[in-house]
Chains A and B, each alone.
Chain A
Amino acid sequence: MVAVGISKSPTGIAGFDDLTHGGLPTGRPSLVCGSAGCGKTLFASTFLIQGAREHGENGVFVTFEERPVDIVSNVASLGFGLDELIAEDRIAIEHIAVDPAELAEIGDYDLEGLFLRLELAIDSIGAKRVVLDTIESLFSAFSNPAILRAEIRRLFDWLKDKGMTTVITAERGDGTLTRQGLEEYVSDCVILLDHRVHNQISTRRMRIVKYRGTAHGTNEYPFLIDADGFSVLPVSSLGLDHKVSEERVRSGVPDLDAMVSGGGFHRGSSILISGVAGSGKSSLAASFADAACARGERALYFSFEESAAQAVRNMRSIGLDLQRWIDGDLLRHIAARPTFYSLEMHLAIMLREVTKFDPSLVVLDPISAFLESGDRLEVQAMLLRMVDFLKARGITAVFTHLAHSHEGTAATDAGLSSLMDAWILMLNREVNGEFNRELYLLKARGMAHSNQVREFVMSDRGISLLPPYLGENGALTGSARRGEEAKARRAEAARRLEVARDRAAAEDRRRAATAQIAELQAQLAATERELGLINEAEVDYRRQADSDAAAMEASRKA
């Protein structure tokens, strides 16, 4: 083996080629085993068809079980256009049918006929890939296992010599990988497909048992078979090495954005909205999505409780028109009951949808729906993968979580909390015979945030957060707040009236005093005038007296 590693042929199966760093070993046989109905044939046919379509490698499909028409119609349901590939001589189907009823074995024989037919098929289209599905069927047709084993071994060696990249499918045996121990003959790559039912929910899983010369994960990876064919989701191969963003995204509720410094939550952060039933979680989550769409970004809304139409109708009542975003392909709403699939499958589907739609914001509403169907640790593991996956892509994630009581919230959700960057707690508290919604920002990593409980008010103009009334007996909300506010308003009015009255009285008194001052000043002026007159008279008198005295003196001298 060369140090640089073995050469590989891509299978075209989404996820599988990433997982194996390139696909199946080129020119070598690979064994795909699993129980009935686990997707072996689909795996094999995808490998063959993708090889012919995308990689220019023609292929021979050797079937020992199904009629060629069955294969074509089975695969046609996936829309691969197998018919055309066959017509273009890029794929050949070789049907090896052996009916044990019409066979008698007398003496020594070999399977040279199979070799000749295979060689003819390979040469006729210049094949590079071969699928043997399922060669074990030969064991029920021929009664001499010693000959069969020797011939199968010879067949694998022959395919290797011819440089065929081969997929061999085999049934799972009791306690062994394959019923006939074929894994002994295939030393390069063994893949196990599994189909397990837990709590009446089935999950398909894939595991790479052996892959010589390649580092591979030993984990089980869920895989999907649906309209898009076979896809493996290497959900575990995620890390904590995601990039972080300083950019803030708005929640669509200005009052909420104002509660954190910077005016919004970090892009790419995970935000948990938890609260009791009817506390407004979904509405707040929808508001996040609406805000993203309003910015021209894409949002993906996974709902596990409501259908798209229902969500659109309900959000219209708080003034959010989601339909226009759905029509404009900015918002995608995907509804699925938690019990539709297993957790892995849900995760797998979500990851695939995210990859396909490439949104900037993803909502999961509510994640608590899973806790009822799955094991708590498994759910947490699933969410961890989801969070990591979204973070790695810089996608803002909004999770809602239905809490059953206010008191238990902090403790029971501790596991979830560590995954989340921000935690918005929604309360719905009964005071004086009425329930009022409240919102509290329990945590917001990397952001200074308000410690206040706000009253959460939804109206047809949207969501607003009111600072609660701080009365003598603590913060008040709802009608208590309105009552207290009315009381305060009345008190204020009364006080104002009193002040006005006092002010008027004082004004009166001032006016009276001013009048008095004016009168006294008049008196003063009169008195001063009198004084002036007196002084004047005195001066006149004195002058007269002086002139009289002078006149008298003059007369006396004369």
Chain B
Amino acid sequence: MEAKKKKLVLYVAGQTPKSLAAISNLERICEEHLPGRYEIEVIDLRQNPKLAREHDIVAIPTLVRELPVPLRKIIGDLSDEQKVLVNLRLQDE
């Protein structure tokens, strides 16, 4: 199970409504579909703008699935649950 753990990184910029919506949407989806098999890291680029360059982030919020590879990016407030699941392919694994 450890190997199958998803590593998700959510990049936000400050406490904007879009960022807050993305955080709560992501947590809800993961809790429903991947209980115990996920790890979420939220990075506030306003605190650490260098990371935006490092990870090539343009749009906010951006969700990056770092594991398993390949890396996938989703932008937006993640308001459509089905789309999020499809794009992260969270179900088939």
A105 and B75 form a contact (CB under 8 A): yes
Of residues 53 through 70 on chain B, the ones whose CB sits less than 8 Å from some CB of chain A are: 53, 56-62
A102 and B73 form a contact (CB under 8 A): yes
With A113-B13, A116-B49, A117-B52 as contacts: A106 and B58 at CB distance below 8 Å: no
Give min CB distance, B48 to chain A, whole Å. Answer: 9
Q: Give the distance in Å from the alpha carbon of A198 to the alpha carbon of B45 in the complex.
A: 52
Which B residues are CB-close (under 8 A) to A107? 18, 21-22, 25, 76-80
With A102-B71, A107-B77, A109-B77 as contacts: A142 and B46 at CB distance below 8 Å: no
Q: Which of A94, A110, A111 has the most CB of B within 10 A?
A: A110
The residue in chain A whose Cβ has the minimal distance to the Cβ of B46 is A116
The residue in chain A whose Cβ has the minimal distance to the Cβ of B11 is A113
The residue in chain B whose Cβ has the minimal distance to the Cβ of A113 is B57
B53 and A109 form a contact (CB under 8 A): no
Which B residues are CB-close (under 8 A) to A146? none
**Interface residues in B, total, Cβ within 8 A:** 33
Q: Give the distance in Å from the alpha carbon of A365 to the alpha carbon of B11 in the complex.
A: 67
Give min CB distance, A51 to chain B, whole Å. Answer: 23
Give min CB distance, B47 to chain A, whole Å. Answer: 10
Q: Give the distance in Å from the alpha carbon of A204 to the alpha carbon of B27 in the complex.
A: 56
Which A residues are CB-close (under 8 A) to B71? 102
Q: Which of B25, B72, B74 has the most CB of A within 10 A?
A: B74
With A104-B83, A106-B87, A119-B49 as contacts: A112 and B76 at CB distance below 8 Å: no
Q: Give the distance in Å from the alpha carbon of A107 to the alpha carbon of B53 in the complex.
A: 23
**A277 CB–B CB distance under 8 Å:** no
The residue in chain B whose Cβ has the minimal distance to the Cβ of A102 is B73
**A497 CB–B CB distance under 8 Å:** no
A96 and B58 form a contact (CB under 8 A): yes
**B30 CB–A CB distance under 8 Å:** no
Which B residues are CB-close (under 8 A) to A105? 74-76
Interface string of B1-29 (1 = CB under 8 A from A): 00000000001010010100110010000
The residue in chain A whose Cβ has the minimal distance to the Cβ of B87 is A104
Interface string of A75-115 (1 = CB under 8 A from B): 00000000000000000001011100011111111111110
Which A residues are CB-close (under 8 A) to B13? 112-113, 116
A113 and B77 form a contact (CB under 8 A): no
Q: Which 6 A-B pairs have the closest CB atoms?
A: A107-B76, A107-B79, A107-B77, A112-B60, A113-B57, A106-B76
Chain A interface residues toward B at CB < 8 A? 94, 96-98, 102-114, 116-117, 119-120, 138, 141-142
Add 14 more A-B contacts to A106-B76, A106-B79, A106-B87 (CB < 8 A). Answer: A94-B53, A103-B73, A104-B74, A104-B75, A105-B75, A106-B75, A106-B84, A107-B21, A107-B78, A109-B77, A112-B13, A112-B59, A113-B52, A117-B53
Chain B interface residues toward A at CB < 8 A? 11, 13, 16, 18, 21-22, 25, 45-46, 49-50, 52-53, 56-62, 71-80, 83-84, 87
Question: Can you sample 7 A-B contacts with CB below 8 Å?
Answer: A96-B58, A103-B75, A106-B83, A108-B18, A111-B58, A113-B11, A120-B50
